[in-house]
Amino acid sequence: MKLTLLFDLDGTLIDSRYDIAGAINFAMQHQAGHEVPIRRILPYIGSTLEATFEGLLSEPTPELIGLCIETYKHHYYEHCTENTSPFPGVAATLARLDGHLRGVVTTKRTFMAKRVLREVGLAHQFDLILGTEEDIDPKPDPAVIFRACKMLGIEPVNAAVVGDTLHDMRAAKAAGCRSIAVTYGFGDPRELIAFGPDAVIDSFDQLLRVLAETA
């Protein structure tokens, strides 16, 4: 039985840093009157919007965080792929994964993940696109992985999670899946390697080598 592949989205399949950072700074400027450098935003990509704005706002309050989240959502929906594209090798590699069930498991809401993947021309490559809804705790909780496996009809032990952050690796471990860390995304490569994933790839096309070695 071939491994089922469960991919993180931002920082793994697509380089979305500029659209996400732009929407975050738009919300912060509109609601709080200040922005932050993109380098401060990158470590939060993959976290919840609540955690992101709590960490980035100079004077966070529940009310202000809520306003920023709503402003972010409206702005990002309209501008989500203006500066977003798949990482090199993603489209070509996905096209060579015949026989592998493929899913996306992301902190984004499902409708937003589907929108972004359609816009960048990747949606058709996946058997399932699943986001973190209100009844699913975000990674590193394994809930989204468990639900994806159930929807795909497979056991977690027969799946591998491919991601760029410790949230992805910890969720994979908690779910009992294999873990494949990518070093080209938004996470710290040193932290990823220190975690001890089952495999590490420096470019998306190296996934084919990893899969051949585990076949």
- Domain residues for the domain of 208 are 4-15+86-214
Residue 15 is predicted with a pLDDT of: 98
Mean pLDDT computed over every residue of the chain: 96
User: Last residue of a domain, which of 79, 95, 111?
Assistant: 79
Instruction: Indicate whether 163 pLDDT > 80.
Output: yes
Q: pLDDT higher for 142 or 213?
A: 142
CATH number where 152 lies: 3.40.50.1000
Q: Is 98 a catalytic residue?
A: no
Residue 214 is predicted with a pLDDT of: 82
Give mean pLDDT, residues 51-57.
Answer: 97
Residue 134 is predicted with a pLDDT of: 84
On whether both 199 and 104 belong to a single domain, the answer is: yes
On whether both 63 and 126 belong to a single domain, the answer is: no
On whether both 63 and 133 belong to a single domain, the answer is: no
Instruction: Indicate whether 158 pLDDT > 80.
Output: yes
Instruction: Indicate whether 215 pLDDT > 90.
Output: no
User: Last residue of a domain, which of 58, 79, 100?
Assistant: 79
CATH number where 63 lies: 1.10.150
On whether both 9 and 22 belong to a single domain, the answer is: no
Q: What is the pTM of this model?
A: 0.95
- 36 DSSP assignment: -
Q: How many domains does the chain contain in total?
A: 2
Q: List own/partner pairs for 74-77 with CB under 8 A and 24 or more apart.
A: 75/22, 75/23, 75/26, 75/27, 76/19, 76/20, 76/23, 76/112, 77/112, 77/115
On whether both 115 and 46 belong to a single domain, the answer is: no
On whether both 134 and 188 belong to a single domain, the answer is: yes
On whether both 189 and 208 belong to a single domain, the answer is: yes
On whether both 92 and 181 belong to a single domain, the answer is: yes
Quick: pLDDT tens for 121-151: 999 999 999 999 888 899 999 999 999 999 9
On whether both 36 and 141 belong to a single domain, the answer is: no
User: Last residue of a domain, which of 64, 79, 94?
Assistant: 79
On whether both 132 and 195 belong to a single domain, the answer is: yes
CB atoms within 10 A of CB 116: 26
Residue 46 is predicted with a pLDDT of: 87
On whether both 71 and 173 belong to a single domain, the answer is: no
On whether both 31 and 100 belong to a single domain, the answer is: no
Categorize the per-residue pLDDT at 8 as very low, low, confident or very high, splitting at 50, 70 and 90.
very high
- Name the active-site residue from 8, 10, 19, 164: 8
